[in-house]
Each structure stands twice: as structure tokens, then as C-alpha cells.
Amino acid sequence: MADTASPLNKISEFRLTRRVQFYETDAAGIVHFSNYLRYLEEAECALWRAAGLRLEPNAEHAWPRVAVSCEYRSPLTFEDEFEVRIQIAALTDKSIRYAGVMTRGDVLVATLTMTAVCVAKSTGRAVPLPAAVRERVEVSPDVAA
Amino acid sequence: MADTASPLNKISEFRLTRRVQFYETDAAGIVHFSNYLRYLEEAECALWRAAGLRLEPNAEHAWPRVAVSCEYRSPLTFEDEFEVRIQIAALTDKSIRYAGVMTRGDVLVATLTMTAVCVAKSTGRAVPLPAAVRERVEVSPDVAA
Amino acid sequence: MADTASPLNKISEFRLTRRVQFYETDAAGIVHFSNYLRYLEEAECALWRAAGLRLEPNAEHAWPRVAVSCEYRSPLTFEDEFEVRIQIAALTDKSIRYAGVMTRGDVLVATLTMTAVCVAKSTGRAVPLPAAVRERVEVSPDVAA
Amino acid sequence: MADTASPLNKISEFRLTRRVQFYETDAAGIVHFSNYLRYLEEAECALWRAAGLRLEPNAEHAWPRVAVSCEYRSPLTFEDEFEVRIQIAALTDKSIRYAGVMTRGDVLVATLTMTAVCVAKSTGRAVPLPAAVRERVEVSPDVAA
């Protein structure tokens, strides 16, 4: 992460460890299914921080999502510790596709996909990924999901 | 909806009208993408209320989701009024698949899918849909998404 | 709401009717306590819409909260229908204090207070309430909470 | 925290470090004010974990909140790192009052209070705090808020 001068020093994945908070559960006693997308976003932001970048909306660009999917395999309950592994699954000129795998110990919790596009704030139209972004990431050689 | 004696009186879709709340927006100035799943759940519950049923987890059954997907077409902002049209897209012995279309006036906002299974609380295993549920819904003849 | 020309036509309260959504519940089987603040905000925005205004952050002003409080009297569960009555409790040069009372039928659910200040976006400092705002509301003669 | 045999080894506060997630922001570009209550709950659960306990609702007890308050002093934005210091401010026979202070570096972000009561699930009525809970915590000698 330190040597940003190296052209090889690209990031293709990140593993986030996280505990279930009480406010994320629902009356079925498990994590509400909508929160899995928030967990994936949390891992996505951690990946970009690890790459030395911040992909928040700024004066120039925003990163709206165009598609997400999630397959739920095993529920999470209050205080469960789990891992979100996020990988760069594909890069196009104007978009990034992520793959996510959530696990609790050896148990598969969920698999996810998410695609974001880079949009110019001034026009609201998709534009090529900034060079600073493209330089820092690469497609994972071993996409899990 | 009133005459539950009629075998023809089944429900296959519901249209929910809803306004964007401020707490549903994010720092990009639009509705956070995770909330679209909550909107679809809101329409799902309204469909079941219209059918005279309540699909909440109870002593006997729970309805965990096994898969969701969403394609985002146009953003929503604070106070936008929008419609969520939910349809029964498929029924199997133990599961229900929904299709959702979100619109703001003539603008397509998103299309969604969601699959829930019926689980027995005592065993945690998928079981056939209760007769009371099966009797009240049918697959929409015209699934939009 | 129609005759904005009349100086007497000011709004001092609003009553919002709302149903508990499943995603608002937690693993205790009741609405998570943080959501009561969202319900109050929902009623606040409805009050301003009824007054013909939109108090969202815009290029000029934002309305950060400086204080909230809530006393919880009776829980809400999935699909409960409840009312949020919000009243203008006090107006100062630069702030608005609201009082809220939540009820489910005859049952008192919660009482709330919330204070917001008007801030100039350019300086980040509190400024006098815009005339358009001040002209449309007045302190309720009968503040409940 | 390790030596649970020692009667002196009681906990009276906990400091949680946390980063703002994107889904916690709103269209004003700051953390939505309702999320501060979630942050305090997060610190509360961490305090109880540090005390070797889990205060989630179980077959016997639940811990509904009876009152909360928050004074907001300085906003939080995306990716801000902040601390939530939670202290046991008071213990009665059947209730626990917490005081919270949120800071970002040297900046005071918010002060909070929250009171929870111990309720028997079988009757829905307040009951004395379980001995296992009482044995593990004490009022902080230096309540900050």
C-alpha cells in the first residue's frame, strides 16, 4: 500500500472483518437482508482507502450503482463476527464490477455482485474512470463469486 | 379483496405509492441504493395485507430471502414521489419469487427481483407454502420485470 | 393550505399516520429506538410540505439539528398503525423547536423534542430563519409535549 | 477484564473507535442525526462484551429504552474517524443510565444520555437487574456528560 510509485502495486481485493450490530437485526432475529448491501459498500470503501483513494462523490465525480445482486446462504445474528471479501471482478472504461463473498468462520453467508459507474457531476453522464483510480486497482486473478 | 370465498379472487400484484424520506438519502444527494430493497419489502407487505395476510415471522414460519437483484436506472431524490409495482413472478412448492418495477411518473427508476422461501421455525428447513398463503395469490399473467 | 395570501393561514402542527415497516423492527421484535427520530423527521417534512415549503438543504441554507430527546412509553411492532403529531413548540430568531407525540390508538407511544437551526451554507453559521419560513408557521397555542 | 473472579474488576465505561460509513450520511452531506443513537448502542454493546456479557433480548429478559437525548455540537462526514465514550452514569434497581460523549480528535461531536430498563419477557414488566449484570458494572466515578 505504501509504494504508490510501483506500477505493480495494485489492489484487487480487500477483506473486512465486521461484527453484527443490534440495529442491523430485524424481528425475525437475523440481519435484515438490505444490510448486506451496506456491508459490501463498507468493504468497497475500505478497499479504496487501502488503495489510498476515496471514492466518495466529490465536485467532479459520483459513483452511482447500476446493478446489485445477493444470494443469501446462511443468516447472521446479533454479534456474529463475519468477513466480507470484496474483489474487483471487472473493469470497463467507465465502470467497476465487484464480487463479494461473506463468510462466518467456515460458513458461507452470502455472495454478492455490484456494478458502479463513474459519472461526471457537471453532465450527469458516464465518463472514463479517472487515471488515479485505474492506476490503483486491477481485476482479481481469482474472482470468487 | 373482500370475498375470500371466491377461488378467483386471488392477488398477483400490488402498486405502492411512496415518497422519498430525507433519512433515505445519502451524501451523493440521492436515495442510498440499499433502500430500494426496503421499498420492495414495503410493497411486498402491502400486497399481503391486501390479500388479508401477514407474512411476518411467527411461531410457525419465517420467510427468509434467498436472492435479490436490482438494476438502477434513474436516481430518486428527497421528496420524490414514486411507485413500486410488485408482482408475483413465480410460485414453487416452497418459495415465492417477486418482480418489482419502480417508476417516478414516466421515468423508470429500477427493476428488482426477490425470492423468499417458507421455513419452519422448529426445524429451520424449507417447507411447502401454507395453504392460506397459496390460496390467496397467483402468478401475475403479465410479469413486468 | 391554499390561501397563502392570508396572514392568518399559518401552520403550527401536523398529524402524520404511518405504519411500521418490517425493516424498522429489531431482534427484540419491536421498532428500533433510533427510528423514532426518523418518524419525527418524516412528520416535520410533511408539516413543511403542508406549509408549501421544502426544508431540505439547498444552495443557501441547511437545517442541522442541535438537540433531540425521546421518552419511550409503549413499544411498536410490525404493521402497527400509529400517529405522529408534530407541533411548533418554539421559534427563535435562528431556530425552530418541535414537540412530538406518538400514539397508537389511545396508547401513548412516545414524546419527543427536536431543535433545528438555520445555517448559511456559505459560512456554516447560524442565520435568521428566512422570511418565507417564518411567514408560514407559528408556535402552536397548545403544545402537547 | 480478564479476571472475572475479582469483585473489584468492574467496568464503568468503554471507548469505541469508529469510522463514518457512506450509508450513514444524508443529502446534507453529514451523518444523519438518528445514527448517533446507533453509535451509542454500538458502544453500549461493546461495553457489555468487554464485561463478558451480552445484553441482547433473550428468553428471559429484554432491555427496552425508556429515554434518550442527544446534543449535537459538530457534524461528522464520510470517513471521519471518531470516538464514542460511553459511561455508566447511574444504576437503579431496575434500570441503567448511560452517558455518551462523541469526539473527533479534539472536537466535541455530541453528548448523549440513554436509559434502559430490564424487563421480564414473561410478564413484560420491569424487574431487578440480574445479579450477573450488576456484578460486572459500576457507576463511573467521573461521568463526563
Give residue A64's pLDDT band: very low, low, confident or very high (50, 70, 90). very high
Pairwise pLDDT comparison (A122 vs B32), residue with the higher score: B32
Interface test with B, best of D26, D32, D37 (most B CBs within 10 A): D26
Q: Which ipTM score applies to this complex? A: 0.92
**In A59-86, which positions are buried (b, 16+ CB within 10 angstroms) versus exposed (e)?**
eebbbbbbbbbbbbeebbebebebbbbb
- Which residues, other chains included, contact D28 with Cβ-Cβ below 8 Å and sequence gap of 6+? C57, C62, C63, C64
User: CA separation (Å) from B137 to B4, B115, B127?
Assistant: 11, 15, 17
Q: How many residues does chain A have?
A: 145
Q: Which residues of D touch A38 (CB under 8 A)?
A: 21, 23
Under 8 Å between Cβ of A99 and A70: no
Are the C-beta atoms of D88 and D12 separated by less than 8 Å?
Answer: yes
Q: Do D38 and A21 touch (CB under 8 A)?
A: yes
CA dihedral D51, D57, D59, D60 (to 10 degrees): 70
Give me the catalytic one of B3, B26, B106, B142.
B26
C33 and D37 in contact by Cβ < 8 A? yes
Percentage of chain B surpassing pLDDT 70?
93
Residue with grid cell 460486572, as numbered in its chain? D136
Predicted confidence (pLDDT) per residue in A101-133, tens digit: 999 999 999 999 999 999 998 898 999 999 999
Query: Best interface-test mutation with C: which of B31, B49, B56, B84 has the largest number of C CBs within 10 A?
Result: B56
Task: Check CB contact of B41 with chain A, cutoff 8 Å.
Answer: yes
Sign of CA dihedral C19, C24, C30, C32: negative
Q: What is the mean pLDDT of residues A17-28?
A: 96
Query: What confidence tier does C1 reach under pLDDT thresholds 50, 70, 90?
Result: very low
Element spanning D102, H or E: strand D95-104
Residue A144: predicted pLDDT? 64
State residue A2's pLDDT score: 45
> For residue C2, what pLDDT band results from cuts at 50, 70 and 90?
very low
Amino acid at B30: I
Of the given ranges (A130-144, C19-33, D80-94), which has the lowest mean pLDDT? Answer: A130-144
Nearest CA distance, C63 vs chain A (angstrom): 21
Q: What is the pLDDT of residue B2?
A: 45
- What is the reported pTM? 0.94
Domains of chain C: 13-134 (3.10.129.10)
Question: Counting one residue from C and one from D, how many pairs have CB atoms under 8 Å apart?
Answer: 60
* Interval A61-78 mean pLDDT: 96
Is there a contact between B45 and C22 if contact means CB atoms under 8 Å apart?
Answer: yes
Across B46-60, average pLDDT:
87
Q: Does D22 touch chain A (CB under 8 A)?
A: yes
pLDDT, tens digit, 9 for 90 and up, residues D49-92: 999 988 777 778 999 999 999 999 999 999 999 999 999 999 99
Cα separation, A103 vs A111, whole angstroms: 9
Decide: A97 and A86 in contact? Cβ < 8 Å. no
Q: Would you state the cell numbers that stand for residue B23, as one nine-digit string?
A: 433519512
Distance from the D57 Cα atom to the nearest Cα atom in chain C, whole angstroms: 6
- Band (pLDDT 50/70/90 cuts) for residue A59 is confident
Size of interface A-C (CB pairs under 8 A): 28
Give residue C95's pLDDT.
97
Name the least confident of A10-19, A95-104, C5-14, D34-43: C5-14
